[in-house]
Amino acid sequence: MASDSGKGLKEMSFWDHLEELRGTLIRSVLIVLAFFTVGFFLKEILFDGVILRPTRPDFWLYRLLGVDLSINLINIDIAAQFFTHIKVTFICAVVVAFPLICYELWKFVAPGLYEKEKRVMRKAFGLGAAERHQVGNGAAAPRTAGQRHRQQ
């Protein structure tokens, strides 16, 4: 840690930094593991409600476009369903846990930054959050535009 004008921060050795990094990595893995466990037991919601939703003919985009589409999934391997369940749940757990992992990394890096560097990083993450918000609004626009059209 950088000594920061008498705020009580102490210099750390290389081994102290490694110990701190180890704690950060362990907490990050535990966060992903917690989300993985929840996702693993909520298989029906994750797969039927989110992942496989576009395979149904009543999917909102198909109704909006006026397309009649039917998709049949074929299993060609004995353990494919189980391993797909594991892989998809892990990927979803990492995606959902990503903000918390970033926060953990920030807690590790922030004490070594000067105040000006911290401000720059906060602005960068703030602008990134604003962009993600706009992308989310853009993804929701077709759904809400279709609903507004039906109401008129």
Tokens of 55: 């395979």
Query: What pLDDT band is residue 59 in, cutting at 50, 70 and 90?
Result: confident
- State the average pLDDT over residues 102-129: 82
Listed residue (44, 45, 32) closest to 102, CA to CA:
32
The CA-based angle 76-79-84, given to 5 degrees, is 90
- pLDDT of residue 5 exceeding 60, the answer is no
Q: Provide CB contacts within 8 A for 43, sequence distance 6+.
A: 85, 89
- pLDDT of residue 100 exceeding 70, the answer is yes
How far is residue 121's CA from residue 127's CA, in Å, rounded to a whole number?
Answer: 10
Tell me what percent of the residues of the chain surpass a pLDDT of 90.
24
Tokens of 14: 């290389």
Least trusted range by pLDDT, from 31-35, 39-43, 51-55, 98-102: 51-55
- State the average pLDDT over residues 99-107: 88
Tokens of 112: 């070594």
Task: Tell me, rounded to whole angstroms, the distance of Cα 27 from its chain centroid.
Answer: 16
Query: What pLDDT band is residue 124 in, cutting at 50, 70 and 90?
Result: confident
How far is residue 14's CA from residue 144's CA, in Å, rounded to a whole number?
Answer: 53
| pTM of the entire predicted model | 0.69
Are the C-beta atoms of residues 28 and 101 closer than 8 Å to each other?
yes
